[in-house]
């Protein structure tokens, strides 16, 4: 799923006014962290490669490793446990991160497929790439809008 919708899902699920911004940010993190590395490593060439798809089809090894770590249940579960121990009221912010991973399972394939137990396992599901199948994004954004309309009109 696209990064912006992950932020929108985080904000949609965590309806607390005090946490909504943080929820959107945490929903973006699995994509944002590798992107920040890409910008740091390649500067503006990173965005140029992303737009012409050469990077998307053949990402650098370090980038894909970081991407897989960020899309694994193992690091976020460890971080959630630490947060639960030291700042339990912030643990709710793990929900957008977990949802990001769950939404990426059916909406990514090939090298970008979500490996939930990376680095212990390379097992993954071959989903439908959201950028190649517009109906996936249409359904996703329709659900986000419908849920928000429902909650804001109540």
pLDDT per residue as tens digits for the range 36-56: 888 887 776 666 655 555 666
| pTM exceeds 0.85 | yes
- Which residue in 111, 117, 123, 24 sits closest to 71, CA to CA? 117
Q: What is the pLDDT of residue 129?
A: 85
Per-residue confidence of the chain (154 residues) as pLDDT tens digits?
899 999 999 999 998 889 999 999 999 999 999 988 888 877 766 666 555 556 667 788 898 999 999 999 999 999 999 999 999 999 999 999 999 999 999 999 999 999 999 999 999 999 988 878 889 999 999 999 999 999 888 7
Alpha helix segments (H runs only) across the chain: 3-13, 20-42, 45-52, 54-57, 61-70, 73-86, 94-104, 134-152
At 46 the pLDDT is: 63
Question: What are the helix (H) ranges across 71-133?
Answer: 73-86, 94-104
Tokens describing residue 114: 């979500």
Cβ atoms of 64 and 111 within 8 Å: the answer is yes
Q: What is the pLDDT of residue 142?
A: 97
């Amino acid at each position: 799923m696209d990064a912006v919708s992950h932020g929108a899902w985080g904000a949609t699920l965590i309806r607390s006014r005090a946490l909504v911004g943080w929820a959107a940010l945490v929903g973006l993190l699995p994509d944002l962290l590798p992107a920040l590395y890409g910008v740091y490593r390649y500067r503006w060439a990173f965005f140029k490669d992303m737009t012409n798809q050469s990077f998307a089809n053949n990402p650098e090894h370090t980038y894909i490793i970081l991407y897989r770590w960020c899309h694994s249940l193992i690091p976020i579960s460890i971080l959630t446990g630490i947060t639960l121990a030291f700042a339990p009221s912030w643990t709710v912010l793990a929900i957008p991160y977990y949802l990001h991973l769950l939404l990426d399972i059916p909406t990514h394939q090939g090298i970008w497929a979500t490996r939930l137990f990376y680095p212990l396992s390379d097992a993954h599901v071959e989903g439908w790439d959201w950028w190649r199948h517009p109906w996936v994004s249409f359904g996703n954004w329709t659900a986000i809008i419908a849920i928000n309309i429902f909650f804001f009109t109540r």
